[in-house]
Amino acid sequence: MNIKQLRYVVAIANSGTFREASEQLFVSQPAMSIAIKDLERELDFQIFERTNTGTSLTIEGERFYEHAQSVLRNFESFESRYSKPKESDRTFSIASQHYDFLAPVAVDFAKKNPEIKNFRIFESTTYSILQEVAQGHSELGIVYLNKHNRSGIIRMLDKLELEYEELFLSQTHIYIRKGHPLANKETIHEKDLKPLDRVRFTQENEQFLYYSEDLVETFENTFIYNATDRATLNGILERTDAYATGLGFIDDESVNHITVVPMAGDNGNSLILVKHRGHLLSNAAASYKRSLEVYFEHNHF
């Protein structure tokens, strides 16, 4: 048994066919098939059920697949840290939901870490963020927890062998254009939002409500703009009376025509930093975390 075979198992299970897995890993299909047969012979059980339409894991194969994922995550983290230490010391990656503070924090981090020559900010869906950290592509992930999504997100973190630390507590804020009929209110109530259109970020797994970045429930018959990009979302807000929800952060140097108003009621949200369970933060990750903390200290609501 070797790491290459484990990678084959995970790729086949995720894609559903030997053909797609071999294309993803740039390996010939016959070579992959032989490697899996050798592994099954060594294990003395069948990992995959093979059919004309694809493959599926056997019961024993499902258990093996779960363990293989865990081994690969640990190995890839180990490999990235020690195989090319000089190169890895010059790169750093974080994954995050869509927040305006990402730009100013990135600039502060870059100024304090001139040795980092390749800083990657992966701004994506909640599911992709957790997978990014679990697979070792990003050392840190930034998402939020509240009473609606907390149990679901924590279950997913446990499954992926991730842990989190709370960074900041905030009540829900409503994002609207300056000059909006609600812009001068001290707080906004749910009834104020009922007649309005809404803008939100699209998630790739809408069946799981805890992946959503919506901080208030959507009303029946509300017209919804679904966006994948912050610039598009902000552009819609600037041109309409639609609203979006968030934690209340606005980067004034990037966003000029949008304001935020706090939502009435107990809507506490926790911004959390996600990392591999039990792993110590690298120097770069610790520095990025500090840049986040400094930003929050000077931009609280």
- Which of these three, 26, 58, 82, is where a domain ends? 82
CATH code, domain carrying 14: 1.10.10.10
Q: Are residues 119 and 73 both part of a single domain?
A: no
Q: What is the pLDDT of residue 207?
A: 45
Q: Are residues 229 and 121 both part of a single domain?
A: yes
- Which of these three, 82, 100, 133, is where a domain ends? 82
Residues 103 and 299 sit within 8 Å (Cβ to Cβ):
no
Q: Are residues 280 and 199 both part of a single domain?
A: yes
15, 117, 182, 292 from 288: Cα distances, Å: 34, 14, 36, 6
- Which of these three, 82, 98, 127, is where a domain ends? 82
Q: Residue 182 pLDDT more than 80?
A: yes
Residue 132: Cβ-neighbour burial (10 angstroms; 0-12, 13-18, 19+): buried
Q: Are residues 60 and 101 both part of a single domain?
A: no
Q: Are residues 75 and 91 both part of a single domain?
A: no
Q: Are residues 58 and 113 both part of a single domain?
A: no
CATH code, domain carrying 191: 3.40.190.290
Domain span holding position 122: 84-301
Q: Are residues 251 and 217 both part of a single domain?
A: yes
Per-residue pLDDT tens for 98-152? 888 999 999 999 999 999 989 999 998 888 899 889 988 899 999 988 887 888 8
Q: Are residues 56 and 115 both part of a single domain?
A: no
Provide the number of structural domains found in the chain.
2
User: What tokens appear for 169 in the block?
Assistant: 């507590």
Q: Are residues 291 and 247 both part of a single domain?
A: yes
Q: What is the pLDDT of residue 83?
A: 61
CA dihedral 92, 170, 182, 180 (to 10 degrees): -10
Q: Are residues 71 and 182 both part of a single domain?
A: no
Per-residue pLDDT tens for 206-245? 445 556 656 567 677 889 998 888 889 999 999 999 999 8
Q: Are residues 43 and 142 both part of a single domain?
A: no
Q: Residue 81 pLDDT more than 70?
A: no
The whole-angstrom separation of Cα 274 and Cα 39 is: 34
Q: Are residues 144 and 290 both part of a single domain?
A: yes
Per-residue pLDDT tens for 63-72? 999 898 888 8
